[in-house]
Amino acid sequence: MTSRDKHNSMANAIRFLSIDAVEKANSGHPGLPMGAADIATVLFTRYLSFDPKNPNWPDRDRFVLSAGHGSMLLYSLLYLTGYEDIDISDIENFRQLGSPTAGHPEYGHAAGIETTTGPLGQGLANAVGMAIAERKLEAEFGSDLQDHYTYALVGDGCLMEGISQEAISLAGHLKLNKLIVLWDDNGISIDGAVSLSDSTDQVKRFAASGWHTLAVDGHDPDAIGRAIEEAQKSERPTFIACKTTIGYGSPNKAGSSKAHGSPLGADEIALTRTQLGWSDEAFVVPSDILDAWRLAGLRSNKERKAWEDRLAAKDAEIRSTFERRFRGELAGAFEPAIEGYKKKLATDKPKVATRKASEMVLEVINGALPETLGGSADLTGSNNTKTSQTKPITPDDFSGRYLHYGIREHGMASAMNGIALHGGLIPYGGTFLVFSDYSRPAIRLAALMGIRVIHVLTHDSIGLGEDGPTHQPVEHVAALRAIPNFQMFRPADAVETAECWQLALESENKPSGLALTRQNLPTVRTDHVEDNLCSFGAYDLAPASDADVTIFASGSEVEIALEAKTRLDGMGHATRVVSVPCFELFEEQTEEYRAAIIGQSKVKVAVEAGIRQGWDAFIGSDGVFIGMHGFGASGPYQELYKHFGITADAIVAAAEARLHADN
């Protein structure tokens, strides 16, 4: 056990690296690293299983700094323990352009950053997903390959955000006993004392959600250690309330909001150095203290090597499967399975809702890819996300492949991020498209991180009918298309649905959404094509040379566009139909391809049962848009399409009017 003096010196190294980095940047949050340094020192030097020389070791413990504003705590730890991605110059360049030490921790910027945090509560919910993944993989591969803890350090803000309740209630229900949450209980938020806005008894709240709870002095290393050891033995997830002082060691700012989000200032830093007995200048860590930290970084080296020996001793098929899945590669059986299924669809030509088409292709996918982990936010029968292979996971049996997330869309989306970040699994989860608003912050972070998470978003338009405008997502497809690095698919039939699923699964560095219908749609791709046409984002579904009219459509409106084409052709107006399943993939095509698809028709029409936003890229600002211009209404969907003028009649009339106007 580390002596108290040595512990204090090691914790102070975190404090002063953080203080000095924030001061040099003239920006940042010194209070949390100063207050939580004792917690972090105990965790990283005694309990956390990690290896800076092999940072992606699959059986490492995961550490999530949910209170991401305190990022210098994590950066200091990564530097001190010997991660090669962060050196002292990176600490000195905190919050500077091009530095891995960004304002908030960003996944992919440096090894050891397990997830992007900053939007409060997200890290906590990510940690729940990581713990789910560990438990699921342990059930699948055995505890000799997957047996580790997930730790999250949270602040008051993380616990005030609504997502925290979704996350902790799910974790408590699932009895995620290897999840340990450490609360930096300092009683301070930006506005001042937490008591200004909140009087929740957090310990009782976690207990009510099925957690084991403990409360300790967050500046007593032995008490922290005892709590972690007790947590490791618990049969439930554990919440440890660590009472701390924000800005610990600062004579004039400790315990106040002045230490939260602003540099301490040169005079206060000098006083803090005196108070804590730290005589070294900025960014200098005495060699004996740095050596102690580097030794802590080597602490799990033998454990990691023993794990590698266990993996090497496994049956070759198990070993190769495990390694493939943690590399994120799809099984070789996947592509031929999809290809064979597409051939079958071209023959069968089913008339089904695309939510049903999604279920049909998932039956193929889940048979070929054992790493898929499905789920739904209490809409399984509506989202069609469960297949014959996906037995439900229960608190006492994680051998299944399906999670009942409950009515927790935001928690589900963020937990799926954590599952994907953990590795070894590909998560997909369903809800209604309109409720993607509840999931959006987590979807945005998945896009920012570039991780493979798939959102099944059914009931995608006014086509859901009688539930009315509260449930009719007229603006949601456009809003999701606005997120950078997010692929939003809206397939037109069963063939396109299969192709979009293939693209979502093959996109290792992007999350995806599939907008799927409630109403039945005919198969519009009746001839089998080996190429994945949806990969182009937009393609000629019904070509016509020298077309007078080009109709661009997505999803359920492709059927309407094809009917309009038949009628316009019969009137002597050569018409082509372009199916547009994915704006984002179309934007990635060559300029020549995009120009050819957009074409030179006299009249360009876009048809989608949503708002116009985004379609001008295809039809221009003077093009014809057939779609929604406000909210929907309650009624049978056939009547709604007529009421809002999303019909072949409306397309024909608008095209004719433009053609006559041009003559």
Task: Report in angstroms the alpha-carbon separations of 289 from 13, 83, 296.
Answer: 8, 16, 11
458 Cα distance to chain centroid: 19
Q: Which of 614, 644, 651 is nearest to 472 (CA)?
A: 644
Which residues 6+ apart lie within 8 Å of 336 measured at CB?
none
Cα 421 to Cα 319: distance, rounded to the nearest angstrom = 20
The conformation of residue 330, written as its DSSP 8-state character, comes to: P
Strand partners, 625: 606
Q: How confident is the model at residue 663, as a pLDDT?
A: 65
Which residues 6+ apart lie within 8 Å of 575 measured at CB?
542, 544, 547, 548, 549, 550, 551, 564, 565, 568, 569, 655
Structure tokens at 248: 């610990």
Torsion angle defined by CA atoms of residues 183, 187, 192 and 198, in that order, rounded to the nearest 10 degrees: 90
Q: Which of 70, 80, 229 is nearest to 149 (CA)?
A: 229
Q: What is the DSSP string of 246-283?
A: TTTT-TTTTTSGGGTSS---HHHHHHHHHHHT--S-TT
Cα 464 to Cα 638: distance, rounded to the nearest angstrom = 10
Q: How confident is the model at residue 2, as a pLDDT?
A: 81
Q: Which of 524, 511, 541 is nearest to 441 (CA)?
A: 511
CB atoms within 10 A of CB 517: 29
CB atoms within 10 A of CB 607: 29
Inter-residue contact 457 to 425 (CB < 8 Å): no
Cα 136 to Cα 71: distance, rounded to the nearest angstrom = 30
Strand partners, 549: 575, 603
Which residues 6+ apart lie within 8 Å of 46 measured at CB?
1, 2, 225, 228
579 Cα distance to chain centroid: 28
Amino acid identity, residue 264? L
Q: How confident is the model at residue 1, as a pLDDT?
A: 67
Sheet containing strand 603-608, edge to edge, reads: 539-542, 575-579, 549-553, 603-608, 624-627
Q: What is the value of pTM for the model shown?
A: 0.98
Residues with catalytic function: 409
Q: How confident is the model at residue 222, as a pLDDT?
A: 98
pLDDT digits 0-9 by tens, 181-195: 999 999 999 999 999
Q: What is the DSSP string of 98-156?
A: T-SS-SS--TTTSTT--S---STTHHHHHHHHHHHHHHHHHHHH-TTT----EEEEE-H
Overall size of the chain counted in residues: 663
Sheet containing strand 402-404, edge to edge, reads: 402-404, 372-376, 426-432, 454-458, 512-516, 487-489
Task: Please list the ranges in the chain whose pLDDT falls under 70.
Answer: 1, 663
Q: Which of 380, 390, 400, 413 is nearest to 170 (CA)?
A: 413
Structure tokens at 460: 């995608």
Q: How confident is the model at residue 149, as a pLDDT?
A: 99
The conformation of residue 195, written as its DSSP 8-state character, comes to: G
Amino acid identity, residue 10? M
Strand partners, 151: 63, 180
Which residues 6+ apart lie within 8 Å of 50 measured at CB?
44, 57, 60, 61, 63, 81, 112, 297, 300
Cα 416 to Cα 128: distance, rounded to the nearest angstrom = 9
Q: Which of 661, 641, 353 is nearest to 522 (CA)?
A: 353
